[in-house]
Amino acid sequence: MPDAIPLIALEAVVLDTETTGLDPGTVRILQVGAVHLARGRISESFERKVNPGVAIPSETTKVHGLTAEMLADAPAFGDVHADLAAFAGERVMIGHNIGFDLAVLERECAMAGKPTFWTHILDTRLLGELCFPRLGGFTLDKFASHLGLAITDRHDALGDARLTAAIFLALVPILKQRNIRTLGEAEAACRRLTDALDSYHRAGWAEPVRPKAAPDSVLSRIDAFPFRHRVRDIASQPPIWVGPEVTLADAIRLMAEKGISSVFVSTEAARLAEPIGILTERDVIRLVGLDGPSSLGRTAGTLANRPLETVPAEAFIYRAIGRMELKNIRHLGVVDEDGAMIGAISARDLLRLRSSDALALGDAIDQSQSVGDLAAAWGRLPLVARRLSSEGVNAREIAAIISREIGALTRRAAREAERGMVEAGLGKAPAPYAVLVLGSGGRGESLLIPDQDNAVVHAGSEADTAWFLDHGTRMNTILDDIGIPLCKGGVMAGRPDWNGTLDAWRQRIRGWTETVDPQDLLAVDIFFDFRFVEGDAGLAATLRREALAAAHEARPMIKLLANQIGSWSPPVGFLGRIQAEDGRVDLKRGGLFPVVALARCLALSHGIAHRNTADRLRALRDMKIGADHDLAKLEEAQAALAGFILRQQLTDIAEGLPPSTSVELRRLSKAEQGELRDLLAGLKIAPALAHDLLFS
């Protein structure tokens, strides 16, 4: 789904042509210039002169300086076509007033009997009008001057292509301010500039935007198993260890006895202080093949491969598959949240699981080299979500995948922010710290419209907080550039209320749980769902343990949280009709809110440590808190409502619209509308449940 690719992450070719005139129905190409635009960076270039085979009018030579003599030995367009098509590849094509260039290229391709080679198109003239509708002229020179860009090599195809690329990069942050972040959103916005497009048609230019996207009819199939199960589900536990003094012969004997293909090498005392090694059956075959029987007396410590690649036990299996393929390895250690080794997985364990481009998503994030790379990885999530949905994976499972990758992106953004601090001469972190993802990301329930909910706790002094606030602001900016927008409510690590020492957080929690200011309810809602994603896991665990203990005793706070549910009612009218606004109904506020809020209230009240709403409801059922069928009904409603939201989001993204939690009723069949109406009406029990289970 290229529509979802953030503009900052585009793989594009920026193109310009010089021609014999201005009539696209008759002119011939004299020069083609292009540059690659790779995730925010202008890279390699392409330039070819073309012999048009016709006279070159003197008035056009005055503009671009190209004469018949200069082009006498140049190839015809048909001989340039293959190189140009190869340079363009499957990239998005960008140009200024590119409708003219496309019309000329289409004619040249037809005359040479060659195919066209572009699909997605962006026109900087249209994008510029979206940014500066009152500029009073949309020429290349006008935009460059307005944006403060140097103008050089004008009316040279390569020079103009470079200038156009610079203009596009300058427009991207301005478009983002206008909520145009992705390729699909940019195309949809350009389609709405009907006056400009009408003028293109009158001039005989090609339309530089695709028609409105149709729903995908055929999707490449994807094995859903790795996206539905976690590494802990298939890992062998516990790991098998040998000391570094053990001989290769004894290690082979142990592998044979245990029926395993590898052993880990370390002393128990050194496992946290030194890199763990691994010795595999492949290593054994290679060593014996090269050195013969003499290798059997060598020690595991001298033969082991270090450092061992690991994967978290709670990661989805697709991340392990991607890691193995990226590193070209067959074994991974499995670690818990504290980084301790608890098991192992091998390629043999994954033999029945097939990889695909989608499976590399996790490592695309982990191995990214720039913000543009991270944005490109984020842009792949809607494609993964669509394919998984087509395979029958439910929305709640897809939300868990999206949430894990939001956590991975936040981790990378935190590391990039710290690197930026060092490069700016501000030094490394002055104390251990933990980065937390809050809200739906912490619960594992994010769909395709997240914003940033994050925080930082550190083990330093109050004087150190200035460094961490700067770091948090940089992290928030990086995430915003990737495509995860800034939180409108300001719940971000760059804000003083969401950053601080462990003691500062204790005071905040005390304020939330003892003084009970209704203004704090939003903070309470978001905070108690937090998940650790980077830094010192022990620091995060301490904060979570103390926060849950305080909440468990905080009846006034729980009561205020429950009162929010008591004042809620579903968007269903007296006659049973769904109450819509502009044809849409917000299923987050109108449906998911009471389920999520009730599960949180009850979990905090009863000391349940789970973050995820479904896990909280199941724990309540296990504890016989409330009627089993009522809680099961809430769990089923949450899953179904998430499905309605996800399907609408995928449709909106395909049409270049910003995704939201509001579902368009006219797109639903009568049966689906009936199902949705029944789901919403069934949630009327939530306020009564909150009252009965918390205060009766």
Domains, the chain: 2-203 (3.30.420.10), 218-222+356-547 (3.30.460.10), 225-346 (3.10.580.10), 554-696 (1.20.120)
Tens-place pLDDT, residues 603-631:
999 999 999 999 999 999 999 998 999 99
Q: Would you call the peptide bond into 133 cis, given omega within 30 degrees of 0 as the criterion?
A: no
Residue 169 scores a pLDDT above 80: yes
Structure confidence at residue 655 (pLDDT): 86
Tens-place pLDDT, residues 49-62:
999 999 999 998 99
Tens-place pLDDT, residues 268-325:
766 655 678 898 888 888 888 888 888 888 998 888 888 888 888 888 887 788 778 7
Tens-place pLDDT, residues 385-402:
887 887 778 899 899 989
| Residue 126 binned pLDDT confidence (cut-offs 50, 70, 90) | very high
| Residue 217 binned pLDDT confidence (cut-offs 50, 70, 90) | very low
Structure confidence at residue 171 (pLDDT): 97
Q: What is the mean pLDDT of residues 95-108?
A: 94
Q: What is the mean pLDDT of residues 237-265?
A: 87
> Which of the residue ranges 334-348, 481-495, 563-577, 643-657 would you say has the lowest mean pLDDT?
334-348
Residue 75 DSSP SS3? coil
Structure confidence at residue 668 (pLDDT): 93
Residue 223 scores a pLDDT above 70: no
Structure confidence at residue 221 (pLDDT): 45
Residue pair 437/533 in contact by the 8 Å Cβ criterion: yes
Residue 495 scores a pLDDT above 60: yes
> Which of the residue ranges 83-87, 571-575, 629-633 would you say has the lowest mean pLDDT?
571-575
> Which of the residue ranges 22-26, 44-48, 116-120, 515-519 would you say has the lowest mean pLDDT?
515-519
Structure confidence at residue 47 (pLDDT): 96
With a pLDDT cut of 70, the percent of the chain lying above it is 93
- Angstrom distance (rounded) from CA 109 to CA 85: 11
Q: Which helix (H) or strand (E) element contains residue 35?
A: strand 29-38
Q: Which residues contact 550 (CB under 8 A, 6 or more apart)?
A: 509, 510, 513
CA 180 to chain centre: 16
| Residue 516 binned pLDDT confidence (cut-offs 50, 70, 90) | low
Structure confidence at residue 309 (pLDDT): 87
Structure confidence at residue 215 (pLDDT): 40
Structure confidence at residue 362 (pLDDT): 64
Q: What DSSP assignment string belongs to 470-510?
A: HHHHHHHHHHHHHT-PPPTT--STTSGGGEEEHHHHHHHHH
Residue 185 scores a pLDDT above 60: yes
Residue 258 burial (C-beta neighbours within 10 Å; 0-12, 13-18, 19+) = exposed
| Residue 692 binned pLDDT confidence (cut-offs 50, 70, 90) | confident
Structure confidence at residue 393 (pLDDT): 81
> Which of the residue ranges 216-225, 300-309, 471-480, 488-497 would you say has the lowest mean pLDDT?
216-225
Tens-place pLDDT, residues 335-370:
887 778 888 888 767 654 444 444 556 667 777 778
According to DSSP, the residues that pair with 29 across neighbouring strands are 19
The mean pLDDT value of the chain amounts to 88
Largest interatomic CA distance in the chain:
95
Q: What is the mean pLDDT of residues 156-176?
A: 96
Structure confidence at residue 450 (pLDDT): 81
- Which residue has 């200024």 as its token pair? 96
Structure confidence at residue 219 (pLDDT): 35
With both helix axes pointing from N to C terminus, report the angle between 381-390 and 628-654 in degrees, rounded to the nearest 10.
Answer: 120
Q: Which residues contact 388 (CB under 8 A, 6 or more apart)?
A: 222, 224, 227, 397, 398, 401
Phi/psi of residue 543, each to 5°?
A: -60, -45
Structure confidence at residue 352 (pLDDT): 45
Residue pair 620/606 in contact by the 8 Å Cβ criterion: yes
Residue 652 scores a pLDDT above 60: yes
**Quick one: tokens of 439?**
């809200």
* 99-103 LR contacts (CB < 8 Å, sep 24+): 99/123, 99/200, 99/203, 99/205, 99/206, 99/207, 99/208, 100/22, 100/24, 100/203, 100/205, 101/15, 101/16, 101/17, 102/205, 102/206, 102/208, 103/24, 103/25, 103/204, 103/205, 103/206
Q: Which helix (H) or strand (E) element contains residue 290?
A: helix 281-291
> Which of the residue ranges 425-429, 502-506, 517-521, 654-658 would you say has the lowest mean pLDDT?
517-521
**Left if phi > 0, otherwise alpha if psi is -120 to 50, otherwise beta: which for 568?**
beta
